[in-house]
Structure 1
Amino acid sequence: MLDNRTKDSRDNIKNESTSSRRQFLSKSVGALTTLSAVKTGIGVTAAESRWTYPIREGTKDETDVHVIESGKTGPTAYVTGGFHGNEVSGYYAADSITNWSIDQGKLVVLPRANPVAIERKTYVNNNGNLNRQFPSGKKPTTPLARAIWNSIDRHNPDTVLALHASKGILWENEGPKGVGQAIYPTLSEGSSEDAAQTAAYLNHYHMPDSFPDYYEFKRGNILDGSRPLLLHKVSADLRIPGSLIEPTKYGTDVKQRVNWHLNIVRHLLRRQGIDRTYS
């Protein structure tokens, strides 16, 4: 999670966007794709390949990265979940995304980034808060954080999305203090608009009528590289579009939060040129 900011931050958002989008790149993993295709199923075409590989293999941190290659040239997206073991909707949603098919490009998913914390259902692991170990312009500070960053770097993504959850709601007095019901964009040109448009989409199409207005999603503060969070580092070091996604736990159940996560990811990917396919 992020620290709560005041509503004054809203006034600064419009002017905070600096770098341009990367061109869509064709990515390849050579022989690994040929040798490591793992599974097929609904929505899988002959051109599509799927494979997995571990990071931190042989340690308590060992966890899998899932790669879905459409077989068509296009952008690459990297989705993470499970940085905090008590934010279950993030890794449940990311688990589901590993089964998606896409129309072009490549989708890389690290659904359970912090397996020790997930097993314990705790916010941190033995090395503290995993999402405070990514200083901008420097190496990540723990072996697991470095392995995650190396995996992101390996795929040279055009966008990175991180799935979290908060105990409260950003800029609202209702409920506990928190930063939920917000999408936090990177500095990259267009990322702020992506977050705002996706929030509007969620509020229009995926907000139950029974929820009060303060549950509406909003665009959160710009992630500018000033803090050692993964998406801050993505913003400062990679200068690509990205979003940290934070539904609230307050007054919601896991099913609802997973639904929000999935629809936010689908909409953000579409804005980067990747559509989920169903046939």
Structure 2
Amino acid sequence: MDKQELGAFLRSRRERLRPQDVGLPSGPRRRTPGLRREEVAVLAHISTEYYVRLEQGRAPRPSGEVLAGIGGALRLTDAESDHLHVLAGTAPSRTGLHRRDVRPSILTLLERLPQTAAFVTSAAFEVLAWNNLAAALMQDFAALAPRDRNLARRAFLGSADETLYGVSDAAEFRHHVVMRLRATLARYPTDPAVTGLVDDLRDASPEFARLWQRHDVQAAPMLTKTFRHPAVGEITVDCDSLTLADRDQHLVLYSAPPGSRDAEALAFLSALGAGCRSL
């Protein structure tokens, strides 16, 4: 149970709610944002003292029933509720290292998708494997050191010349990175690769540090993305991300409707690919 993270998460969610969001009268002007602690306690059917101690990181582990009541009081989404249980220690967490080995069947699948840019990322945004078209559309990951294949590092710590491949939704992607990394850290609290990455980003990127303080854990799906490629100009692709649950990895797919100009641009880039490789 991470008491400090649990308290910070509860506080961030409470401060975002308005009385009218939970069916309470707004009343006189408030000096602090969000609901009062006693209001959350009443809605969750627990004592105010216990809820205050939870936010302060001083309470013993709450039961599943208490967490359900708090989740309902704070109007948590399913993803936020799952994250709350992980922080409270009432959901299974992975205390080892996140996996970087990609299943052979997934590597074979990458090779069978010549018209789709496909790659696999770890729970910490490391690009683990990719196909020809992903290399041509984004970059030749084989030419990079493993540490430099991390999309989170590139998003927040890349130089001005190392933009996120000219994508149209760079700001949204950075927010998505922060949300996923927070959930990853909760699952792998002792993995030095995960904790070191988060520490590096918090220390070196004010934007990451600001977004990290929001305690968001659920990202809106990115359905399309536009790349500005030096060889073919703008390419708009459909985005699909499939969870590989057994290894806590993601298979990311970028494709375009058959016969479209974007599909033709991808077909041209496919001839420039660098081959499918894995760490």
Same fold (TM over 0.5): no
- Counting helix residues as a fraction of each chain, which structure ranks higher? 2
Determine which structure has more spread, i.e. the larger CA radius of gyration.
2
Taking structure 1 as the reference length, what is the TM-score of the superposition? 0.24
Taking structure 2 as the reference length, what is the TM-score of the superposition? 0.24
